[in-house]
Amino acid sequence: MKAVFDDPQFSFQMLRALGGAACGASDIGECLSTGYRIKEGDFESWHDEWSKTAERIHKFADGCVMGANKVKAREVSAREAYLRASNYYRLAEFYLHGDPTDPRIDELSTKSMVCFSKFLRLGGAQVEIVEIPYEDTTLPGHFYPVDNSGEPRPTLIVQTGFDGTIEELYGNAIGAIARGMNCLAFEGPGQGQVIRKQGLTFRHDWEKVVTPVVDFALSLPGVDPKKVALMGLSFGGYLAPRAAAFEHRLAACIANGGVFDFIGSRVPPNMSREDFLGFIKSDPESFEKGVLELAKTNPEIRWGIQNGMYTFGAKSPGDWFIMCGDYTLEGVADKITCPTLIIDSEADHSFPGQAKPLYDALTCPKTWMLFTAEESAEEHCQIGAALISGERILNWLEDTLADVG
Q: Which residues are catalytic?
A: 234
Task: Give CA–CA dist 117/124, Å, rounded.
Answer: 9
Instruction: Using alpha carbons, select from 155, 127, 152 the residue that is nearest to residue 222.
Output: 152
Report whether 405 contacts 187 (CB < 8 A).
no
Task: Give CA–CA dist 191/107, Å, rounded.
Answer: 16
Q: Residue ranges of the alpha helices (H) in 334-382?
A: 355-361
Task: Give CA–CA dist 321/268, Å, rounded.
Answer: 13
Residue 82 burial (CB count, 10 A) = 26
Instruction: Using alpha carbons, select from 201, 205, 206, 186 the residue that is nearest to residue 132.
Output: 186
Dihedral (C-alpha) 178, 183, 188, 192: value to the nearest 10 degrees? 40
- Cis check for the bond before 304: say yes or no (omega within 30 of 0): no
Task: Give CA–CA dist 360/345, Å, rounded.
Answer: 16
Cα end-to-end span (Å), the chain: 42
Handedness of CA 194, 198, 202, 206 (dihedral sign): negative
Beta strands in 151-267, from DSSP E residues, in sequence order: 153-159, 182-186, 223-233, 252-256
